[in-house]
Structure 1
Amino acid sequence: MTLSLRPYQRAAIDALYDYFGGNTGNPLVVMPTGTGKSVVIAGFIREAIAAYADTRVLVLTHVKELIQQNFMALLRAWPEAPAGIYSAGLSRRDIRAQVLFAGIQSIHRHAYKVQRCDLVLIDEAHLLGRGDSGMYRSFLAQLNEVNAGLLKVVGFTATPYRLDSGLLHEGKDRLFTDIAYEVSVLNMIRQGYLSPVVPKQTETQLDVGGVGTRGGEFIAKDLEAAVDRDEVTRAAVAEIVQHGEGRGSWLVFCSGVAHARHVRDAIREHGVSCETVTGDTPAPERDSILTAFKAGRLRCVTNANVLTTGFDAPGVDLIALLRPTKSVGLYVQMVGRGTRLAEGKDDCLVLDFAGNTARHGPIDMVDGRKREPAGDGDAPIKVCSACQTINHASARRCIECDEEFPPPAIKVSPEAASNALLSTQIQASWCDVTGVTYTRHEKPGKPASLRVTYDCGLARHSEWVCFEHTGFPREKAVGWWQRRAPQLPAPSSVEEALQHIEALRQPRAIQVRPLGQYTEIVSARFE
């Protein structure tokens, strides 16, 4: 059976081969929720064993649903695959399988039983922080010792960062060393592989003003005490029911177990079928609830901290965030539950009662570097009076219904649109280009890039073109060069690019979008 791969899935596998052809580190593959990481994992495994028949592969993750999902993806692509499962939750311990799909909780003490292993693939790799603590790190250290230091590790994730340690591939004691391939959620939406997400203004907002922080995140007990208030819950639920009237599957993220049950009860009072899933829910009951939800027999599920990763329900077309978080990864994972495609689904409505969109910004532009959490001040937004969709303050027409906004009474400063869920919901503007300069840019521990600086009157805007990188950055660099010098092959180095600068067409204008204190160059116009 031939595995059918989408172009970006094929590119991800090729990027891994390119990476290992010239590097010795542990790379990451970054793909948004719903774009088929399990298919990429299956394709990579099958091709690796086809090339080297005795290759032994271990696929690790943390929940049984993902173990089963990745295992079945390989069998669909390769029915005769020499694959097995090691998971207490799935009641299987096929420790000798050539391709072993395992739960880290079940296998972390059995590195010496696994013995020879060439390749470890980790799904949901953002669960690994830096440092030597944790089941993953101790297990991998032992497995690497067993295999004489020759073990190769690849991480797959939609969010390559952690709240406590920033980007997974940067900093001291990191396990992952590079991003071999990355594709953005915006790119996938534009190409029709993911569903758009639409933010709506909510009248009810959760107040976390007095909630403390520990380890960069709200203290869980204090957070639930602050937001689990009957009058707030009833007000928020009334809005969910109102907006969800034409929606089929509602997923609600709550701030604790008790909060999830209280929200469930309030939703039921409106005559809507609703159940709750938490970490305490017995496995058979949880499976029954989620099966009914995915089949459309149950309209709403509330949850506390359990349906952020490894949960696949394509029909979800309304997400309500009643869970404030300072974690960029958690925010993106929650919204990502609504980006999968489904028959009859046009988009996913996101009701953010928790202020997360204001806290973190559009999901395709979030920054995972470790930093002090942003404040909770007012974001530069305007709400459409016709449909209540959140727009950036600079928008002239509503991104959802095309309603024209009246001219602004005062000038609004061009800040990042923190209440937009996608960067396309931020207004971009065109600037005439009066000059362009090209320089070599160095960053410690990274390949050099070409810094391109555009003079636009008194303003200057820069972008970095990554000819010497691999994966998606290299693809972008090739496309950038082809638009400017279609007669010349794309250079392989910054030095080679600088030798052909005179051949480049100079844009007459560039389109820029505000991105915090910086700007992003979106497009260019040529003569």
Structure 2
Amino acid sequence: MLRLRPYQRASLDALADDWARGGRSGLVVLPTGAGKSLVIAALIRETLERAPGARVAVVTHSRELIAQNHAELLALWPGAPAGIVSAGLRRRDEDAQVVFCGIQTVWNRLDRLGHLDLVVVDEAHLIPRSADTRYGRFLDAARAASPDLKLVGLTATPYRLDSGRLDEGAGRVFDRIVHEAQVGDLIRDGYLSLLVSKATATVLDVSGVPRRGGDYVPGALEAAVNRDAVTRAAVAEMVAYGAGRRAWLAFCAGVAHAAAVRDAVRAEGYSCEAVSGETPPAERDRVIRAFREGRLRCLTSVGVLATGFNVPGTDLIALLRPTESTGLYVQQVGRGLRRAPGKADCLVLDYAGLVRRHGPVDALSANAVARALKLGGEAPRAKPCPGCGALIALNASTCEACWTEPEADPDAAAPHAAEADDSRILSAAAAPAGWRTVEGWRLAAEPAGGATALGVTFVVAGGHRIRLGLEQTGYPREKAVAWWRRLGGGDPPPMSVAEALERQDELVRPEALRVAPSGRLSETVELRLPDGAVWRDTSRVG
């Protein structure tokens, strides 16, 4: 039987406790990549185990999420009495006990669905505050038909720029947040990928762009940032940083801007496609499949991939769309949080100044964002490290990436800096203590489980050794290749230990190393490389 991760189990337990106290409308906040689909599946199964006759609807906005959530339930429970109601997927299984629905299809068709006991809304931050909307009308009708209806919302971003938390204020849909898992905690525990953020030399200028409805006016924004010289400079940086990375995702300011970035990437010699709301569904599916399978290096997007996009291998995100929306910023960055074999971290290139404006992503809890919104949210809350360019908290005394000590920032005492300081900067949250200087290293062939592995012995206080299974297949090989590349080894990776030893001059010795247990049978190893980058890897031991 599938065993949920501790934070997933905790979210369902918190929801059950809220129901036991009479709650009927609770929010569960889980970061992107934390497994919301699995939590939804487990919630449905446990609900029907307690009440075999209950009817459940899972409602969201995109056909990709509908199909993903439906597939997750069938993977957990192959015999689940589940169907799909979605015009986009051309299915109307309205009589199923559990229905996965598109809000565009069901908002005015509740009579076809009948009585519901539980409604789950995925990406709940997309529910408008006004009751006179599709979500509002659907939920009002569902409650009128079923006075005891329970409502559960799941989201990574339980707030909006213009109206604060989803569980506060007039017209709120949810009563309270019953559980919130923190990005920094899940990175530290090895469930999510480490994020590395860099300030870029190219900066998009939006000083003259007007605002409307809490964000920049789209046409004016695109006109400001879609400039050929700026695009070419930004893409040149992206290519330089991304040469050793395999899946780049660029968020752009409009359809023409996404096409311009795509063309600039292609001009640099890399495969790239653009997708937007105007892209036909079949074409969008084809492009995303090619990106997921590694046949496409870069994907540029406007308006369609900030939510519901699931490609774990994404290891570079280019933020080329300035936004005042903290929620959109977190959703975009969240596309890089999923872990994947061979993926060491995800690099975020911030051309739009979003990390400075909104703060480190692991500091953006619901409470922190709500407080910042009440204060007006204009002052920057992060700054680039003068040593390596990594974006760090305004009040940080040391950069966790390269250990440079920035000069004191005269704005560090501003109200917004104080708000951002309530939580830890991402790198501090994700990293154990105890760096040890690497004085030297030795590479040699070593026996490992009846095979030969590349043994790497680091000369540090207390010693440390790893074995790279370059001659193995599957995950051990992927793991070894990830280590090879992060230590500076070129492509193609060696197929044998003997070849690796012949090519060991390609490798760059780390400057420092630190190790910490991350569970009873695993440990986290971090290497600080000469260029200031830090690589973090969690592996089984023993």
| TM superposition score category, shorter chain reference | 0.7 to 0.9
Residue equivalent to 1:301: 299
Residue equivalent to 1:391: 392
Instruction: Give the letter aligned to residue 127 of structure 1.
Output: L
Residue equivalent to 1:288: 286
Deviation at 1:423, TM superposition (A): 1.7
Deviation at 1:351, TM superposition (A): 0.6
Is the Cα contact below 8 Å between 1:199 and 1:389 reproduced in 2? yes
Is the Cα contact below 8 Å between 1:55 and 1:118 reproduced in 2? yes
Is the Cα contact below 8 Å between 1:361 and 1:420 reproduced in 2? no
Instruction: Give the letter aligned to residue 334 of structure 2.
Output: G
Equivalent position SS for 2:361: coil
Q: 1:158 to 1:11 in 2, by over 3 A?
A: same
Is the Cα contact below 8 Å between 1:273 and 1:298 reproduced in 2? yes
Equivalent position SS for 1:275: strand
Is the Cα contact below 8 Å between 2:356 and 2:391 reproduced in 1? no
Deviation at 1:284, TM superposition (A): 1.1
1:210 aligns with 2:211: no
Q: 2: distance between equivalents of 1:409 and 1:60?
A: 49
Is the Cα contact below 8 Å between 1:25 and 1:178 reproduced in 2? no
Residue equivalent to 1:12: 11
Residue equivalent to 1:178: 176
Residue correspondences, number: 421
Residue equivalent to 2:309: 311
Residue equivalent to 1:144: 143
Q: 1:248 to 1:194 in 2, by over 3 A?
A: same
Q: 2: distance between equivalents of 1:351 and 1:420?
A: 24
Deviation at 1:395, TM superposition (A): 4.4
Residue equivalent to 1:63: 62
Residue equivalent to 1:232: 230
Deviation at 1:409, TM superposition (A): 7.8
Q: 2: distance between equivalents of 1:344 and 1:299?
A: 16
Equivalent position SS for 1:200: strand
Instruction: Give the letter aligned to residue 341 of structure 1.
Output: R
**What percent of counterpart residues are identical?**
51
1:423 aligns with 2:422: no
Deviation at 1:373, TM superposition (A): 4.6
Question: Unpaired segments of 5 or more residues in structure 2?
Answer: 430-542
- Please give the residue correspondences for 1:36-47 in structure 2 after superposition, counting only pairs within 5 Å: 36-47=35-46
Q: 2: distance between equivalents of 1:124 and 1:266?
A: 33
- Please give the residue correspondences for 1:2-401 in structure 2 after superposition, counting only pairs within 5 Å: 2-147=1-146, 149-366=147-364, 367-369=368-370, 370-371=373-374, 373-375=376-378, 381-385=383-387, 387-392=388-393, 395=396, 397-401=398-402
Is the Cα contact below 8 Å between 1:112 and 1:143 reproduced in 2? no
Deviation at 1:420, TM superposition (A): 13
Q: 2: distance between equivalents of 1:196 and 1:414?
A: 28
Is the Cα contact below 8 Å between 2:81 and 2:97 reproduced in 1? yes
Cα deviation 1:298-342 (Å, max 9, x = unaligned):
000000011000000101110000000000100000000001001
Q: 1: distance between equivalents of 2:408 and 2:47?
A: 62
Is the Cα contact below 8 Å between 2:363 and 2:423 reproduced in 1? no
Is the Cα contact below 8 Å between 1:195 and 1:348 reproduced in 2? yes
Residue equivalent to 1:442: none
Is the Cα contact below 8 Å between 2:392 and 2:425 reproduced in 1? no
Deviation at 1:142, TM superposition (A): 1.3
Q: 2: distance between equivalents of 1:412 and 1:63?
A: 42
Is the Cα contact below 8 Å between 2:357 and 2:382 reproduced in 1? no
Q: 1:232 to 1:376 in 2, by over 3 A?
A: farther
Instruction: Give the letter aligned to residue 392 of structure 2.
Output: N
Deviation at 1:353, TM superposition (A): 0.5
Give the superposed CA RMSD. 2.2
Q: 2: distance between equivalents of 1:184 and 1:55?
A: 32
Q: 2: distance between equivalents of 1:227 and 1:4?
A: 47
Q: 2: distance between equivalents of 1:284 and 1:127?
A: 24
Question: Unpaired segments of 5 or more residues in structure 1?
Answer: 428-527
Is the Cα contact below 8 Å between 1:362 and 1:419 reproduced in 2? no
Q: 2: distance between equivalents of 1:420 and 1:197?
A: 20
Q: 2: distance between equivalents of 1:288 and 1:395?
A: 44
Is the Cα contact below 8 Å between 1:277 and 1:286 reproduced in 2? yes
Q: 1: distance between equivalents of 2:421 and 2:64?
A: 32
Q: 1:422 to 1:341 in 2, by over 3 A?
A: farther
Deviation at 1:425, TM superposition (A): 4.5
Q: 1: distance between equivalents of 2:126 and 2:93?
A: 24
Q: 1:58 to 1:382 in 2, by over 3 A?
A: closer
Q: 1: distance between equivalents of 2:148 and 2:297?
A: 49
Cα deviation 1:468-502 (Å, max 9, x = unaligned):
xxxxxxxxxxxxxxxxxxxxxxxxxxxxxxxxxxx
